Amino acid sequence: MERNEKYILIALGGNAFQTKGEPGTTENYWKNAYRAANTIVRIVKEGYKVAITHGNGPQVGTILEWMERSKDRIPPLAMDIAGAMTQGWLGYLLMQAIDNTLVKEGIRDSVKGAVAIVNQVLVSKDDPAWQNPTKYVGSYYTKEEAERLAKEKGWIIKPDPRGGYRRVVPSPDPKENIEVGAVKKLIEEGWIVIASGGGGIPVIRNEDGTLQGVEAVIDKDLAGEVLATALGVGTFVILTDVDGAYINYGKPDQKKLDVVTVSELEKYYKEGHFKPGSMGPKVLAAIRFIKHGGRKAMIGHLQKGYEVIKGESGTIVVPD
């Protein structure tokens, strides 16, 4: 597929809205949404057509906890419905923050605005992820809290490489973005599109061709790559809470990768330098994007989003 150099897909981590240590108040969410919006609008001003996806790990975990705590009074809903709820929640924040930032920058009349869509992503019912949950969702717990919750609620809880313990749920590999045609048309018409939120609502296709939601949370970076490739964007940017990809991370000889070829990065990936559930999927998404014909993939810190996109910060992955 031909790549459009002026098309860019930006993937925001779920922690872009609720950073570690923040209580997750409405004020926190708006502050972080406007930080992301400022980066996005700066790129739009330079003539780029932008698609945005976002994570939902902290938020879908919060919704699942709400359901768990109120289950004696209100019947809990399924995990795919919880994922759809986060698309509306976070999509609304981004839409308003982007639109208001366009107004403040005096360019609202030249851009149609931002729109968020409820978006399904196809997964396989035979994916091995169903037997090996790896996707971190919800709050961070101490070891003692994690052991108690695992016993009380039957959750699977694992240590998070970023610190603390968190619940993990199945994260099957994304295969296809169901509504990609609508996303592409909206971008072509000048909209800033928020899609594949939280990795997309996970669905399987039945033998009769119908779709059915499943209990999982898709990794947003892997789903973002599927969308980026289908849209033919030239650049895929992953913004998170670290300043790039490291080898030997957390060790005395750790080294940040500044510019790396896809084959070199794939070698590091296979050697196990990037942990599942954290940097691992981001690196794999970048590798897939370049191998599928993308021009540049970038991984960096949300607070330096513009510098990452301009190649002045973070890790840049390029073809061999």
Q: Residue 223: which CATH number?
A: 3.40.1160.10
pLDDT of residue 224: 98
| Per annotation, catalytic residue among 14, 61, 199, 234 | 14
Entry field: residues in the chain:
320
β-strands 255-256, 113-116 pairing: unpaired
| Per annotation, catalytic residue among 15, 56, 119, 177 | 15
**pLDDT tens column, 102-148:** 999 999 888 899 999 999 999 999 999 999 998 888 778 899 999 99
Q: Whole-angstrom Cα distance, residue 219 to residue 70?
A: 27
Q: Are 164 and 141 in contact (CB under 8 A)?
A: yes
Show Cβ contacts of residue 275 under 8 Å, excluding neighbours closer than 6 positions: 161, 249
Q: Tokens at residue 53, please?
A: 């996806």
pLDDT of residue 189: 93
Give Cα 156 distance to the centre of its chain: 22
pLDDT of residue 241: 84
Q: Judge whether 15 counts as a catalytic residue.
A: yes
Q: Judge whether 6 counts as a catalytic residue.
A: no
pLDDT of residue 278: 82
Q: Tokens at residue 38, please?
A: 């400022």
pLDDT of residue 1: 67
133: in domain: no
163: in domain: no
Identify the DSSP state of 22.
Answer: -
Give the domain extent around 33: 4-123+177-318
| Per annotation, catalytic residue among 32, 184, 198, 220 | 220
Q: Judge whether 49 counts as a catalytic residue.
A: no
β-strands 191-194, 49-54 pairing: parallel
| Per annotation, catalytic residue among 49, 135, 184, 296 | 135
Alpha helix (H) residue ranges in the chain: 26-45, 57-69, 79-104, 143-153, 180-188, 220-231, 262-270, 279-291, 305-309
171: in domain: no
Whole-structure pTM value: 0.90
Q: Whole-angstrom Cα distance, residue 116 to residue 113?
A: 10
pLDDT of residue 15: 72
pLDDT digits (tens), the chain, 320 positions: 678 889 999 999 877 787 777 888 999 999 999 999 999 999 999 999 999 999 998 898 889 889 888 989 999 899 999 999 999 999 999 999 999 999 999 998 888 999 999 999 999 999 999 999 988 887 788 999 999 989 988 889 999 877 899 888 899 999 999 999 999 999 999 999 999 999 999 999 999 999 999 989 999 999 999 999 999 999 999 998 889 999 999 899 999 999 999 999 999 999 999 988 689 999 999 999 999 999 999 999 988 999 999 999 999 999 99
- Amino acid, single-letter form, for residue 45: K
Q: Total structural domains in the chain?
A: 1
Q: Judge whether 13 counts as a catalytic residue.
A: no
Q: Tokens at residue 57, please?
A: 């790990």
Q: Judge whether 275 counts as a catalytic residue.
A: no
Phi and psi for 196 in degrees, rounded to 5? Answer: 55, 30
| Per annotation, catalytic residue among 282, 294, 305, 314 | 282
Per-residue exposure over 191-221, b if at least 16 CB sit within 10 Å of its own CB, e if not: bbbbbbbbbbbbbbbeeeeeeebbebbbbbb
pLDDT of residue 272: 94
